[in-house]
Chain A
């Protein structure tokens, strides 16, 4: 539209000029007319060319704008797709459960066990220092093995535990989440769940056995079950420890030493057969007697 208007304006101007030239100089009318005509042609062409350049420029801008919008729309759709993909990935990876605040859950928390709450039930919003309880489970299952499901019934905050059956680890320590992990354990034996790492506020875990369909809610401490025995060598002077040698316990062989200097670990004792419970109880009884007699540590 703009181009055609400009063009008409040019033609009108040309006609008017031509008119004025004829009337002004009649004698030189032809010359003038010819000259004017050349000028008009020249101006008209220039203007026409200028208009065309503007049109071309406007066209380019529009094309660029159109192209930019097209790119933005396409990229926007790609970003929307990536956002949806991220949402799906998060939902599939996320194992966080909602907290069960029912009376059944409160009762289970108090008693430490429940037959009504299923695997993966979360009954606490945040971890609490829960006492470690021992449970003796009597069952009448004929199976040799049972499935055990273990999960964190409070916040997923990076608590790590290890499952041991008769002191033998079932695997490496792992992070417990609200989503249960299933393990296979013998139908009879001692199952221990020592805590390896406390993410925050204590380690809480729940276990459900398939042979009795009962869920046990428990707690454990970090470092529990992680006792290690090392072979060491002194880096300085050392002496017999008088508190555990025959100076304190006459007749006790000298097998313990102490040093104020650091000890260098040279190896770890993997297989260690500790004292029997009877001997340990006897030791603890002796310590209790000494305490009653008011005998304190030597040096």
Chain B
């Protein structure tokens, strides 16, 4: 019975890894960096708002990552691929910083006013800088990896 359960759980891990997690791993750099950056450049270039999808993407990716971490059989993925944990953590923390920046700029460009545009460009820059500084502080406090017992000896 235990063997059957192990086999099923291993099968579930493989299916989850290939069908879901693999795609998240592949699209994460694009959705975390390229999509929001492209949105921001588009808004600045045209002077008008654009349809952004950064927060929706972040919501979906966070949900998948949380399920991978919380469901015990899926958690095995992090043991098989030790780089996975820092990879998803760094990119997922980076993602909302840029997604919020894009949303902030989008909100500012709702009204076509050069003064308002300037204010929201500055706010966006401030948000990105503050977000990156918080990231630095967070990863300094909690490094994006598993601490080993013999580390630092």
Which residues does A use to contact B, with CB under 8 Å? 60, 63-64, 67-69, 71-73, 75-80, 82-83, 86-87, 89-90, 93, 157-158, 160, 171-175, 196-197, 199
| Residue pair A68, B79 in contact (C-beta under 8 Å) | yes
Instruction: Decide yes or no whether B17 CB sits under 8 A from chain A.
Output: no
Please, how many angstroms separate the alpha-carbon atoms of A174 and B117 in the complex? Answer: 12
Given contacts A83-B60, A175-B111, 18 further A-B contacts (CB under 8 A): A60-B150, A63-B149, A67-B147, A68-B79, A72-B78, A76-B70, A79-B92, A80-B62, A80-B66, A80-B70, A82-B58, A82-B62, A82-B96, A83-B59, A90-B59, A158-B48, A158-B49, A174-B110
- Closest A-B pairs by Cβ, 6 of them: A76-B69, A79-B66, A83-B62, A86-B59, A80-B66, A76-B70
| Residue pair B63, A64 in contact (C-beta under 8 Å) | no
Instruction: Decide yes or no whether B3 CB sits under 8 A from chain A.
Output: no
Q: Which residues on B sit within 8 Å (CB–CB) of A77? A: 66, 70
Q: List B42-82 residues whose CB lies under 8 Å from chain A.
A: 48-51, 55-56, 58-60, 62-63, 65-70, 75, 78-79
Closest A residue, CB atoms, query B61: A83
| Number of B residues with CB within 8 Å of any CB on chain A | 36
Q: Which residues on B sit within 8 Å (CB–CB) of A89? A: 55
Please, how many angstroms separate the alpha-carbon atoms of A78 and B66 in the complex? Answer: 8
Q: How far is the CB of A99 from chain B (nearest CB, A)?
A: 18
| A76 CB contact (under 8 Å) in B51, B66, B109, B113 | B66
Interface string of B82-111 (1 = CB under 8 A from A): 000100010010001000000100000111
